[in-house]
Amino acid sequence: KITETLGLDPRIFEEAVQIKLALLFNQFSKDSEAVVR
């Protein structure tokens, strides 16, 4: 399992993933706005 290999608490890992997804979504939103304009 990935979390065991990295020695991370699954909850911390989950939180990090959520943050990364949010940042990616933010970037994607900005990019699509630029395309629309």
Write the pLDDT tens digit of every residue in 2-35. Answer: 556 666 688 888 899 999 999 999 988 888 777 7
Q: What is the pLDDT of residue 18?
A: 94
Q: What is the pLDDT of residue 19?
A: 94
Q: What is the pLDDT of residue 15?
A: 92
Q: What is the pLDDT of residue 34?
A: 78
Which amino acid appears at position 13 of this protein? F
Q: What is the pLDDT of residue 23?
A: 94
Neighbours of 13 (CB within 10 A): 13
In whole angstroms, give the CA distance from residue 23 to residue 34.
17
Q: What is the pLDDT of residue 33?
A: 79
Q: What is the pLDDT of residue 1?
A: 55
